[in-house]
Chains A and B, each alone.
Chain A
Amino acid sequence: MIRRETWQAWALLLPALLLLVAFTHWPAVATLIDSLYTTPRGSRPPRFIGLENFASLLDDRVFWTALRNNFIYAAATIPASVILALLMALAVNTALPGRPLLRMAYFTPTMLPMIAVANIWLFFFTPDYGLFDQVAGLFGLGRHNWLGDSATALPAMIVVAVWKEAGFFMIFYLAALQAMPPDLREAADLEGSSRWNFFRRVTLPLLMPTTLFVLVNAVINAFRLVDHVVVMTRGGPDNATTLLLYYIYETGFRFWDTAMAATLTVVLLVLLAALAWLQFGVLGRRVHYR
């Protein structure tokens, strides 16, 4: 005999759970299955080929480029936006002339759609007319096609992402800083501890849970958000800005090679799982919770 409460609980859970499983867990499993078959073309049904898709991925030059690009992008975007966010929060947390205005300046990009951000920066990076070239012109530097040159295209994407995200992460640091008891600072003052020492020994460790939270979000975003690539470069020039999810989009919805797109998605999911494990397993243990 099943208890009444159990029945009630499942009734409450079921609607949300069904949707969640149908559109998150099931597509993840279906993607894994699809990656073991060929892409159906016309009247030809999908055929089971085992791990052949993964094998051909190993020979895919663009895949390796996308993977490398994504790691460079993540390795630059994550620390830059997190450190800037911390600096912004520290700045806005002190008595400062024009503090509300400054906080607003930092946070506003967060409210814009990435697609709008991309349009604005596209204009910024335009050769000759764009602000970048105008400023460079003041210093006597010639025109530069920032997005058309494979050496500067990925850094340009990184700049855009950092601009968009730093203010968002600032909010969480700010919340944590404001929750810190002021007597800590007073005690440190009495002991004659220097500001830098206080920051390193007290503030930073107390901010560790926030840092972990921000890092998890930053990592996910580095692999999840490719809107600006779609608008600004379409992965070009010569795949210099192709990130993993953009390559999935291109393979699946421009070339309609669904099996390869599924294979790529599996790689991305494994990557995200490994990163989550790394963060919670390794970093999580070093976090000091109050």
Chain B
Amino acid sequence: MTRTQLPTRVLEILGAWVLGIIWVLPLLYAVWTAFHPAAYATSFTPDAPLTLANFARAWEAAPFARYFLNTTILVTLILVAQFVLCTPAAFAFARMEFPGRDTVFAIVLLQLMVMPDVLLVGNYRSMASLGLVDTILAIALPYLGSAFGIFLLRQTFRMVPQELDDAARLEGSSLMGRLWRVYVPLAKPTYIAYGLVSVSYHWNNFLWPLVITNSVTTRPLTVGLSVFASTDQGIDWSIITAATLMTSAPLLLAFLLFQRQFVQSFMRAGIR
């Protein structure tokens, strides 16, 4: 930056900060509204009293505890199943020779473009014929075989030095043994990255869960929040923003605490 002239640089910094302030403004506004009585929702006086009453009322007005439980079950189910299913598939694509490998891999990658999110109608019909409508399993099923996960892990497994694999083989390790003791430990950063991306994606997913669920015992947080905001509350913004922040809080707090990890994970997941 030696050649940059000072006035230009100052303008750039100013621009970056103005953009930054515009970017956090909606969030700050929501935080303000949620932590103050409704009367102060749009009047920003410094002496406005702080309160947690909005959160308490939102918590009582809808079964958010149940929604939290549903989302937690959903996200865990998807994460575990994706790891268990994608790992062997990725290994087969990365390190095994068999006829038709490239064709099958191309078929798998089709999912990167034709995502389950778009196939609402077709998947609903499948779930109906399986008798799974309005179950947490039905929300998860379309995402369990994940092309993204297979692709990501395949790339990582291909980087594992072949000598390590050969050494394990000489010691008499079986195929599964090598996968478990050589490949999986070396791919730990990829698992963390994939896990974070998967959890935040499914914590936030909305349209498919909205379509496939219709009761309190299955609805994830996002759907619960939309039901709550559209029917129960009219236009009490303080309570709605409190509920909104409440549902996003776990992920947001996790992000603020492990910022570096999150950002690096998203980068790792994105570089192909």
Contact = CB atoms under 8 A, between A and B. Distances in A.
Given A28-B122, A105-B20, A269 B114 contact: yes
B206 A129 contact: no
Contact of A258 (B1, B125, B270): B125
Task: Say whether chain B's binding surface is mostly helix, strand, loop, or mixed.
Answer: helix
A24 B76 CA distance: 21
A111 B248 contact: yes
B65 interface: no
Size category of the B interface is 35 or more
B13 A26 contact: no
Interface string B82-121: 0001101101110011110100100110110111111111
Size category of the A interface is 35 or more
Interface string A247-270: 011001100001001100100110
Given A13-B88, A91-B16, A120 B241 contact: yes
Contacts of A245: 117-118, 207
Interface in A76-107: 84, 87-88, 91-92, 94-98, 100-107
B4 A195 contact: yes
A27 B111 contact: no
Interface in B213-229: 221-222, 225-226, 229
Contact of B85 (A15, A111, A261, A272): A15
A92 B19 CA distance: 12
Contacts of B200: 111
Contacts of A225: 117
B116 A261 contact: no
A23 B19 contact: no
Which 8 A/B pairs are nearest by Cβ-Cβ distance? Answer: A27-B122, A19-B145, A20-B145, A113-B204, A12-B88, A91-B16, A16-B89, A23-B142
Interface of A: 3, 5-6, 8-10, 12-13, 15-28, 30-31, 34, 84, 87-88, 91-92, 94-98, 100-109, 111-117, 119-121, 123-124, 126, 129-131, 134, 163, 167-168, 171-172, 174-175, 189, 194-195, 213, 220, 223-227, 230-231, 245, 248-249, 252-253, 258, 261-262, 265, 268-269, 272-273, 276
